[in-house]
Amino acid sequence: MSNERHHEVIIIGGGLAGLSCAVQLAKSGVDSAVLEATDRVGGRVRSDVIDGFTLDVGFQVLLTAYPSCQELLDYPALRLRYFDNGALIRQSGRFTQLADPWRNPGKAWATATNPVASVADKLRIWRLRSKTCRGSLAELYERPHQTTEQYLRDFGFSERILDQFFRPFIGGVFLDESLSVSSRMLEFVFRMFSVGGIAVPADGMAAIPRQLAERLPRGSVNLQSSVVRLEGNRVVLANGHSFTGNHIVIATESNAAARLLERPEIQTSWNETSTLYYSSPQCEQKHKSLILRGDETGPIQTATIISNVAKEYAPLNSSLISVSLSSTNNRSRDENELHVKAQLRNWFGDQVRNWELLQTYQIPYGLPVMDIDPVIRSPEVKERPNTYICGDHCETPSIEGAMDSGMRAATAILTKQTSIG
């Protein structure tokens, strides 16, 4: 075909999984082409700039302890800006602090006197931290597992801390407050929060996929290249052009992968999320912690004054506030805005009257819903020779899950090439 181009590897999808696969291949000198359907790389990790404010599409953070991120990303070049460890929790109409006394010994007293949990619950949190940090990650993935809710109950945690800390915290991480996610995922995430930093790049979360793309040879990434079907080793685009490759990697979200591979069983359900951004004159509060709703019943799940963490997110003398809504919230968009503003006034006082809603992101495809028995799938598609699949739906719904899955797909290709050679 006159418009056909050949590469050793064709990667469909320019999100974190596809880019990580391409970077890993490039390190070994393997030629690849990344085909991205939209106008920018990153998949679900995106940032917009509106009126000088940087808005991540959905509240996201980088946990610096993620192994794949440590291997592939240049943290100094990202100019990471760090959250304070721990969280502020609403309790009886005020903010109280729950910190990690190992990492913040100066806040040990504030944590000890926090009314969100009994002394017994706090001791259980410290025991949970110790347990999740023991052993290797491979050993953690092999531990017996159950739902997070049952795991926490068996650990002895009270209903109060389940509702006021774990549900908004885990709900913010996995977009599911039911605590139905596997306890292995809880242990993994708790470990990552405990041993590393919580950060955002100064230029927004989209700086992460941009950095990965910049590490690839010029011309490797092809934007606005929507794939409509596979024909053997040929990848056909919507514009009629096509690519051929010795290996094909499907690095799309699960539903698109199911369509391309004609394997409906790959499809997953999705957890939704909504994030609202407010601009304001400089906010009076200076803390850099994540705020959890605690004992309140309003629509807000978590919030943060993100410009306190990364001043680059807002113009000079302005603040940017990120608000994430509970996944159980069923109000209309207009109702949400009214109720959110009222709840924020309770939290931050009359200054909220001057806050302006910049943007609302309603994200139906936030994170894939994972099976209670999380299994790290082989990247090879057995029914289709030299075809591989990767993405966070193959591991854990996280940045780490996406990037590690992409790296494993690259390793499978390199291993096969070595064995053939």
Q: What's the pLDDT score for residue 383?
A: 83
Tokens 């005020």 correspond to 94
Cβ-contact 299, 326 below 8 angstroms = yes
Element of type H or E holding 356: strand 356-368
Which one of 3.40.190.290, 3.50.50.60, 3.40.50.12780, 2.40.50.140 gives the CATH number of domain 47-205+269-369? 3.50.50.60
Cβ-contact 299, 339 below 8 angstroms = yes
Q: What's the pLDDT score for residue 24?
A: 97
pTM above 0.95, yes or no: no
Q: Comparing C-alpha atoms, which of 254, 195, 241, 177 is closest to residue 15?
A: 254
Q: What's the pLDDT score for residue 341?
A: 93
Q: Give the SS3 label for residue 36.
A: coil
Q: What's the pLDDT score for residue 376?
A: 63
What whole-number distance in Å separates Cα of residue 5 and Cα of residue 134? 49
Dihedral, 15, 18, 23, 28 alpha carbons, nearest 10: 180
Spatial CB neighbours of 369, under 8 Å, sequence gap ≥ 6: 176, 268, 269, 270, 271, 397
Cβ-contact 193, 53 below 8 angstroms = no
Task: Establish whether domains 4-45+207-268+375-420 and 47-205+269-369 are of one fold.
Answer: yes
Walking along the chain (421 residues) 10 residues at a time, the average pLDDT comes out as 82 98 97 97 96 96 96 98 89 79 48 67 88 89 90 94 89 87 90 93 98 97 97 95 96 95 90 93 89 88 96 96 80 79 93 94 87 69 92 91 96 83 52
Cβ-contact 364, 327 below 8 angstroms = no
User: Computed from CA positions of residues 48, 50, 55, 57, in that sequence, does the dihedral angle turn out positive or negative?
Assistant: negative
Q: What's the pLDDT score for residue 122?
A: 83
Q: What's the pLDDT score for residue 108?
A: 44
Token pair for 206: 């989209």
Q: What's the pLDDT score for residue 217?
A: 96
Cβ-contact 166, 301 below 8 angstroms = no
Q: Domain 4-45+207-268+375-420 sits in which CATH superfamily?
A: FAD/NAD(P)-binding domain (3.50.50.60)
Locate the domains of the chain by residue range: 4-45+207-268+375-420, 47-205+269-369
User: How far is CA 34 from each of CA 38, 69, 220, 313, rounded to the nearest angstrom?
Assistant: 12, 20, 6, 29
Phi, psi of 309 (to 5 degrees): -75, -50
User: How far is CA 311 from each of CA 51, 53, 206, 207, 247, rounded to the nearest angstrom?
Assistant: 15, 10, 16, 16, 44
Q: Give the SS3 label for residue 374.
A: coil
What whole-number distance in Å separates Cα of residue 315 and Cα of residue 13? 33
Q: What's the pLDDT score for residue 105?
A: 43
Q: What's the pLDDT score for residue 96?
A: 83
Element of type H or E holding 237: strand 234-237
Q: What's the pLDDT score for residue 100?
A: 62
- Pair type for strands 32-35 and 221-222: parallel
